Chain A
Amino acid sequence: MAMSSDARRRIPGWLWYAFFTMILWGLWGSVSKILSSRIDEITNQVYFTVGLLPLMTLMLYSKPADGEGGMFAGTFWALLTGVLGGVGNLAFFRALRAGGKVSVVAPATALFPLITVIFAVVFLRERLRRTQIIGLALALGAIYLLSV
Chain B
Amino acid sequence: MFSGWIIFTAIALVLWGLSGVTQKLATNHISSQLSFIWFAVAMIVISLIVALSEPIHWRIGSGVMLLAICGGVLNGLGALTSFCALESGGKASVVISLVALYPLLTVAIAVAFLHEALTGRQVVGIVLAIIAAILLSLDGEQQASAGK
Contacts and interface: CB of A to CB of B under 8 A. Distances in A.
A9 B70 contact: no
A141 B106 CA distance: 16
A22 to B, nearest CB: 5
A42 B56 contact: yes
- The DSSP consensus for interface residues of chain B is helix
Q: How large is the interface on A (under 10, 10 to 19, 20 to 34, 35 or more residues)?
A: 35 or more
Interface string B61-100: 1001101111111111110111011101111111111111
Contacts of B33: 59, 62, 64-65
Contacts of B26: 74-75, 77-78, 80-81
B1 interface: no
A22 B30 contact: no
Nearest to A135: B135
A68 B114 CA distance: 45
A66 B126 contact: no
B68 A51 contact: yes
Given A12-B144, A82-B46, A92-B8, A142 B92 contact: no
Contact of A82 (B43, B65, B75, B82): B43
Given A28-B78, A82-B40, A21 B99 contact: yes
Interface of B: 3-6, 8-9, 11-31, 33-47, 50-51, 54-58, 60-61, 64-65, 67-78, 80-82, 84-86, 88-110, 113-114, 121-122, 124-126, 128-129, 131-145, 148
11 contacts: A13-B84, A17-B84, A18-B98, A20-B78, A21-B78, A26-B106, A27-B105, A46-B51, A88-B12, A129-B142, A136-B136
